[in-house]
Amino acid sequence: MREARLSWLGLALALYGVMIGISAWRWRLLLRTQDLDAGLGWLTNSLLVATFFSNFLPSNIGGDVVRIADTVPIAGSKTVATTVILADRALGLLALLVVASSGAWLVHWEGVALPGTQLIGAGALGLATAGVLLLAVPGAAIRLLAPFARLKPGWMEERLARLDTALQRFRRQPGAVFLAFAGALVVQVVLVGFYLAVAYALGIRVPLGRGLVVVPVSLVVQMAPVSINGFGVREAVFSFYFAQFGFGVDAGVALSLVSAALIMLFSLSGGLLFLARRRGSRPSPAGDPA
């Protein structure tokens, strides 16, 4: 770690910034399917704040709470705001599994057998099937949730009606949803590039196929709220796969820790933006030329 090359670490930070920009564009695209809009600058600000909370709270659901809260003033509804963020999350998870499946196929083609790769492919297929069915028959989800309306009549029925409207709007714009998914794929590939740049900074020459497996799998595992910022869980995943690849556990731990440190360093910008919000300089969500 002491011999890390700063030029590669700088490239890694730049790639992470690119990932944030693409994520903001994808979020805006999903908002527009609901006849809503916000400036890219404002969405990027919100994403940076969300990244800060994701890195300093268990799992990364803290960032989702921030994004939902920031979407409510635009949508005028917590249900619609939550639906948009969950749709963005689902597309991101599907992209993770697709990228991991592609990496597993490449590694298998090279003659390296990895345990659990069939589950990754099955998960991607299952999630994709569920998404297609939800877009094709959005009313089915409402019917499945209808029994919950008995718990709080009136209030729950109103929320289900708003959810139905949001799903119908997604259905009417499948091209936008597919484009958002394509953006999610690009985000995951850029994230793999971020980790590979860190690996090169540490002198670890990780082939692309291996990176396409270990990075998405580690990100999926980190979603479980069992640790702060994924520490321990992430290192276990990297160590396991690096041992399979023949790089050594020490290389996996080093890559995991340095990558996490860079992401936390980057996310401090979101903490500063959050402090600015607290002082009354919160940016406007209105659309802007950017």
Domain region containing 19 = 6-277
Whether residue 244 is contained in a domain is answered as yes
Closest CA to 7 of 203, 251, 186: 203
Structural domain contains residue 182: yes
Q: Is the pLDDT of residue 18 over 60?
A: yes
Classify residue 282: in a domain, yes or no: no
Instruction: Report the range of poorest mean pLDDT among 9-13, 17-21, 195-199, 218-222.
Output: 218-222
Structural domains of the chain, count: 1
pLDDT value, residue 283 = 56
In a domain, residue 287? The reply is no
User: To the nearest 10°, the Cα dihedral for 68, 73, 77, 79?
Assistant: -10
Q: What does the pLDDT read at residue 55?
A: 84
Mean pLDDT (the chain, rounded) = 84
Is residue 266 within 8 Å of residue 12, measured between CB atoms? no
> Is residue 289's pLDDT more than 60?
no
Domain membership of residue 286 (yes or no) is no
The pLDDT tens digits for 30-86 are 999 999 988 999 999 999 999 998 887 765 667 888 999 999 988 888 989 999 999
Q: What is the pLDDT of residue 229?
A: 67
pLDDT on residue 290: 36
Residue type, 114: L
Looking at per-residue pLDDT, the higher value among 184 and 289 belongs to 184
Contact 180, 30 (CB under 8 A): yes
Q: Is 170 part of any domain?
A: yes
Which has the higher per-residue pLDDT, 228 or 199? 199
User: Is residue 42 a part of any domain in this protein?
Assistant: yes
C-alpha distance from residue 133 to each of 79, 124, 230, 248 (Å)? 21, 14, 32, 43
Q: What is the pLDDT of residue 91?
A: 93
Please spell the DSSP secondary structure of the chain, one letter per residue: -TT--HHHHHHHHHHHHHHHHHHHHHHHHHHHHTT----HHHHHHHHHHHHHHHHHSBTTHHHHHHHHHHHHHHHS-HHHHHHHHHHHHHHHHHHHHHHHHHHHHHHHHTT---TTHHHHHHHHHHHHHHHHHHHH-HHHHHHHHGGGGGTSTTHHHHHHHHHHHHHHHHHH-HHHHHHHHHHHHHHHHHHHHHHHHHHHHTT----HHHHHHHHHHHHHHHTSSSSBTTTTHHHHHHHHHHHHHTS-HHHHHHHHHHHHHHHHHHHHHHHHHHHHHHTT-PPP-S----
Tens-place pLDDT, residues 125-140:
888 888 888 888 877 7
Q: Provide the whole-model pTM.
A: 0.85
Tell me the angle at which helices 6-33 and 249-278 cross, rounded to the nearest 10 degrees.
60
pLDDT of residue 176: 92
Among 115-119, 176-180, 213-217, 232-236, the minimum mean pLDDT is found in 115-119
290: in domain: no
Q: Is the pLDDT of residue 117 over 60?
A: yes
